[in-house]
Structure 1
């Protein structure tokens, strides 16, 4: 268990993280399981009773998340409640314990809950299929490498949902219950509550499993849809592992390319050429990949793709003003420092350090960012390989 003890916050944040195999056969069932866990427990056997119990515990909150980490998927169950030393109620800590016990260990997996959860996930997936931006990203990941975990949709699939049974979900629940549970606490709690949460922790090291997206021959595909703007998504393999010495250079490259407040793609494609409203890039850090996404007019697709490649070439050739590098570094420094005032950021950083089996102070993390040079960025740019281009385009006008 990892206890980030601080009296800085009025609430306590507890995160129960469970790492499971990330594969196509179980991801849809896992999504349904999360919906079912949200709905009710044995004691809180309706949404109304669940909400009432949380309100009576001074507005305690419970939330859930699914996040992929390479070849693993994390089920994150989060609790947020007022720190116990501020509550003059002898039963308060027991209420928190009971809520945690019910949420973590006493989910109700019945047919009624299953059908409602299927309905909710189906609506969510259908809505995503109607969103051209989401659709282009999904297609780009699928095309990048069909045998790599990056191609598996974290939200599940309609195809698998249509043939899913309650028994499938129960099997995934059994697997979930058998997996190690890792608890993170940020805030200030009583010794009694600390001992209780500690008793739930599996007290074992994380196993991190990841396979970098390999270099492949790039694939290109255009899909037509009745929309007003074309969406482009590109996936590049970077060859950079998150534990590599080049990881900070990859982060800075991404920032300069399309994430920082001053970046090459926005300045060149949006500001100078007015070819898009927004354009951005993001690192898929556990897969050794980078995603670029934008929305354009269909007639400008090739021009935009060429300009994107030009910006990557500029990074390779170190052909950009030093101000881009300095702004990117300061953005990261500010982000690291501001994260010290956000409980969930503190937990996320502690988890990442545990997962990678490393110990880095805030000062060391900042120093590693500040030491990145143009040469480091060029070295990462040299390794980048375009894996896929997925375009969801507006239909051409018929004369």
Structure 2
């Protein structure tokens, strides 16, 4: 890791495992729901070109000319921070038939980052802005039409009632999209370049000296503050809501339940929670799937997931619209049974091996390896190597995992009851 100047970091992981170089340029700022929707639209504008690149077709052609280089721009929420990220991948120099293409690739990325101007008096820009805004609105509408996702969003909205900064995600306040202007985009773009903490992460055959020269040419301003990522948990805690329901126009019901966890921030604690989640509701062999869906036929689908930053376990089920309260109570009963019943040793080892297998398979993706480099920088006290992960996983005891389940606290549920709204 090299800190080039205050707030600008360069992380390079040399590797000959892949024939490609992967580069991720991250701009990190405190999360703000109003800015998040602006940055979501800004990401689409980046993917639509720059002052020098007129539209998406021209950008796609430029990437094709670089022998199929890829590009994606997007944002994500990581607890109290927002990451605006430009990702790109390209064949390494030795596999290219021409010299200088690597420099052309880096020049293209620099153009997309620095050569943006959201001029409201420019008719071409107005047309591009209107198109990307319309496309984003359609994307958000598709999310709204997904009743499973809608139930989870409604659940979090009620858990954090009155605190939208806690329950909103990467898209931020979607209701503000329609009122966004080019002036808003210019303002958030300027802030991104001037006040974000910048982290450039590279994996492959790029040299640190090469990337340092490139970053220096971009002449980013130094970030005025240094952010800490040592405790990525939201400070605002959820409130209990019991069981709530709402009738919507749909063919079936969608149930979302929340259980509060109390695992810590260190890797071993989170690994315990992952194993507990797998046994309770994540895997096809889990208690929720085998008992509520297969044995009792009370759900068309059911599974659990962990919301790490909010310290929640979320259970979601697609069920008959008349079964909401019954399945809600049944899930809680299953939790007690699993937590209080010793886990079969052979099954416990099978779950561990399944989790380990998923991690091993992930190691074959360059973007996953690049993410590990970033996580290592975020949490220098942690060891993200596969060997350490396997050792920690195998060291977990059945009693530790069941204790995670015993410590879960039911906060409530939100049930979207299908019918005539």
TM-score (norm 1): 0.91
Is 1:16 aligned with 2:25?
yes
The two structures, once aligned, show a CA RMSD in angstroms of 2.4
Instruction: Assess if the C-alpha contact under 8 Å between 2:249 and 2:420 holds in 1.
Output: no
Larger mean CA deviation between 233-242 and 9-18 belongs to 233-242
Corresponding residue of 1:350: 373
Corresponding residue of 1:260: 283
Larger mean CA deviation between 270-279 and 318-327 belongs to 318-327
Corresponding residue of 1:132: 147
Shift of the alpha carbon at 1:84?
1.1
Equivalent of 1:277 in 300, 306, 313: 300
**CA–CA separation in structure 2 for the residues paired with 1:75 and 1:324:** 41
Larger mean CA deviation between 231-240 and 109-118 belongs to 109-118
Corresponding residue of 1:141: 156
Corresponding residue of 2:136: 121
Instruction: Give the secondary structure class of the aligned counterpart of 2:211.
Output: helix
**CA–CA separation in structure 2 for the residues paired with 1:207 and 1:137:** 29
**CA–CA separation in structure 2 for the residues paired with 1:396 and 1:329:** 44
Corresponding residue of 1:371: 395
Corresponding residue of 1:30: 39
Shift of the alpha carbon at 1:206?
5.5
Instruction: Give the secondary structure class of the aligned counterpart of 1:26.
Output: helix
Equivalent of 1:218 in 215, 237, 241: 241
Corresponding residue of 2:356: 333
**CA–CA separation in structure 2 for the residues paired with 1:149 and 1:159:** 14
CA deviation vs aligned residue, 1:227-247 (integer Å, no higher than 9, x gap): 111111122221224326422
Instruction: Give the secondary structure class of the aligned counterpart of 2:179.
Output: coil
Is 1:395 aligned with 2:419?
yes
TM-score (norm 2): 0.87
**CA–CA separation in structure 2 for the residues paired with 1:41 and 1:121:** 18
Shift of the alpha carbon at 1:79?
0.4
Q: How does 1:2-151 map to 2 (within 5 A)?
A: 2-111=11-120, 112=126, 113-146=128-161, 147=163, 149-151=165-167
Is 1:162 aligned with 2:178?
yes
Corresponding residue of 2:318: 295
Corresponding residue of 1:152: 168
Give aligned pairs, total: 397
Instruction: Assess if the C-alpha contact under 8 Å between 1:16 and 1:183 holds in 2.
Output: yes
Instruction: Assess if the C-alpha contact under 8 Å between 2:44 and 2:132 holds in 1.
Output: yes
Larger mean CA deviation between 154-163 and 84-93 belongs to 154-163
**CA–CA separation in structure 2 for the residues paired with 1:84 and 1:181:** 26
Instruction: Assess if the C-alpha contact under 8 Å between 2:159 and 2:240 holds in 1.
Output: no
Larger mean CA deviation between 156-165 and 225-234 belongs to 156-165
